[in-house]
A and B are shown apart, each in its own frame.
Chain A
Amino acid sequence: MRHTVVVLGAAIAALLMPATDGHQLAPAITSTTVELPSGDALFPGGANADAINNNCLACHSADMVLNQPALSRSAWDAEVHKMIKAYKAPIDESDVSAIVDYLASTKGTN
């Protein structure tokens, strides 16, 4: 019970921490090192996902794609080609259709 109270106290302090009024003092700027999550989860779907897993995960995690709304096959085709043309994604041309197939079947509008 005491532990609970301590946790609550800390939480309330965090919630009520006021932004400073008036002029801020210059904060100390200290060197910072962090660790970022790897975001290396694979696309589901086994062998059907091989092409998308092999070509797309170097630049971004799978969740970005999986969080997209359902899109038409032509919209997915345009997205894949935007990655290649605008963002220079090193996607094997022979893998493009397999990637679009995966997207249209798992994230398609039909």
Chain B
Amino acid sequence: MPRYRNDERFQALSRRAVLKTIGAASMALAGSAAWADQSVRLPFASGPQQRQVTHDFPQKGPMILQRARPPLLETPMEVFDLGVFTPNDQFYVRWHWAVIPTSVDADAFRLAVRGHVNQVLSLSIGDLLKMPRVELAAVNQCSGNSRGFFSPRVPGAQWAHGAMGNARWAGVRLKDVLDRAGIKSGAIQVRFSGLDEPVVPEAPDFRKSLDIDHARDGEVMIAYAMNGDQLPLLNGFPLRLIVPGWYSTYWVKMLNDIEVLDRVDENYWMATAYTVPDTPHANIAPGQTGVKMVPISRMVPRSFFTNITDGASLPTNAAATIRGIAFGGDAGVAKVELSMDDGQTWQPATLGDDFGKYSFRHWQVAVPRLAPGRHSLKVRCTNLNGEAQPATPNWNTSGFMLNSVETAHVNAI
């Protein structure tokens, strides 16, 4: 009889172990029913903190559901621990208007180049594939990434840190396309628009512009591939503008219209939306008014823990590796430093492979045995322009450009 009980217990344990294993395995499988009722808690200072983890979106694995329509899907933080390139099926998604084509014919699709040019163009995907191909690893980050951590809180998509991703983009230089059309003298900006449309026709179509010199810098590109595959529809299939080092608001999805302007673009999405205070770190005091606002532009350095979370428990009896990702914004990563004592002293992290100045960079620090008790860990990135993450969080009414040093409080037991 004892033997029978033991077997029963063994079987129960074993079944539990298998179920647990299946749970972990299904994390990587899109559409697994194991995710149906799953939710995640985003560590904001106030609620609501719970979000559904959805697998209901096409070409997407498990994503944090911020808004179903038009979709706002956040990348779960653990994805960033798996590598510096964010898989296409877990790359975050952000749309402004709900009229998004759900079907794109790759043969019929045309990219228009018009406006202040010598020759209007209508380019097929095949035309672009015949042009010189360029590749670039670059971080795409929403202007409002981490908005949910603003204090005081501000309205808008309540992202944690997962409105960002890093991919190898392949496509053609915007410069080459513009040169093919021939830019007339007097060109000031280039405006970009995609296939998405507002529900209400009178509402402002989503359009973004870059200065002509920026557009012709040879780095801005039109991508038809992301991590070696065509783009997921929700990430902008078939073409997306890539603006390395700049916030994602300029990375126009489903790009089908390029208009060269002989004036500064004053459309709503340039002149009003996506503007930030013209102050250091786009920082103002809550309630402060009368501040000059300018269009958001280049990104600033950031770094994150990916294998520990705030409030985690770590064992005291063994050395551990603390690791994460960093990026320099519009310049490469010069260094990443870790503090184990709430910012009093800092030690350099070992940096992983360098995939270029615009890419995520892996970092890690081997830490010795931790003394029992609470520890406040901080990570700080400094870019090659000498710009470091500030210790104090910035604040502005739109919840843009948060990049202060991240802290993880851990308990060594």
Query: Which A residues lie at the B interface, using CB under 8 A?
Result: 1, 4, 7-8, 10-12, 14-15, 17, 19-20, 23-41, 58-61, 63-64, 66-71, 75, 79, 86-90
Contacts and interface: CB of A to CB of B under 8 A. Distances in A.
B155 A7 contact: no
A19 B228 contact: yes
A48 B24 CA distance: 42
Given A31-B103, A71-B155, A89-B200, 15 more contacts: A11-B25, A14-B28, A24-B168, A29-B224, A29-B230, A33-B103, A37-B54, A37-B69, A38-B68, A59-B200, A61-B69, A67-B48, A70-B153, A87-B200, A88-B198
A23 B29 CA distance: 28
A63 B100 CA distance: 19
B318 interface: no
A79 to B, nearest CB: 6
Contact of B58 (A14, A23, A34, A39): A34
A38 B106 CA distance: 25
B363 to A, nearest CB: 18
A15 B26 CA distance: 11
Given A4-B21, A87-B200, A88-B202, A34 B102 contact: yes
A28 to B, nearest CB: 7
Nearest to A75: B155
B233 A34 contact: yes
Contact of A60 (B25, B70, B104, B202): B70
Given A31-B106, A32-B233, A34-B233, A68 B59 contact: no
Interface of B: 18, 21-22, 24-29, 44, 46-48, 51, 54, 56-59, 65-72, 82-83, 85, 87, 97-98, 100, 102-107, 125, 129, 133, 135, 148, 153, 155, 157-158, 168, 170, 198-200, 202-204, 224-225, 227-230, 233-234, 237-238, 268, 272-273
A26 B170 contact: yes
A24 B225 contact: yes
B68 A63 contact: yes
A7 B87 CA distance: 19
A47 B135 CA distance: 55
B194 to A, nearest CB: 15
Contacts of B228: 19-20, 24-25, 27
B25 A31 contact: no
Contacts of A12: 28
A19 B85 contact: yes
Contacts of A60: 67, 69-70, 98
A11 B28 contact: yes
A20 B168 contact: yes
Contacts of A25: 228
A58 B203 CA distance: 13
A15 B27 CA distance: 10
A40 B66 CA distance: 14
Interface centre among B21, B46, B155, B228 (most CB of A within 10 A): B155
A34 B168 contact: no
A25 B129 CA distance: 11
Contact of A64 (B28, B58, B67): B67
A51 B392 CA distance: 41
Nearest to A30: B106
Given A7-B22, A19-B227, A36-B71, A68 B155 contact: yes
Contacts of A58: 199-200
26 contacts: A4-B25, A7-B29, A11-B29, A14-B28, A17-B87, A24-B135, A24-B168, A26-B129, A27-B225, A27-B230, A29-B224, A29-B238, A31-B103, A33-B103, A34-B234, A36-B69, A38-B69, A40-B69, A60-B67, A61-B67, A64-B157, A67-B48, A67-B66, A71-B155, A86-B268, A86-B272
Given A1-B18, A33-B102, A67 B200 contact: no
Contacts of A20: 168, 227-228
B163 to A, nearest CB: 13
Interface centre among A12, A14, A75 (most CB of B within 10 A): A14
Given A30-B106, A59-B98, A64-B72, A69 B46 contact: yes
A23 B104 CA distance: 27
B255 to A, nearest CB: 14
Nearest to A34: B58
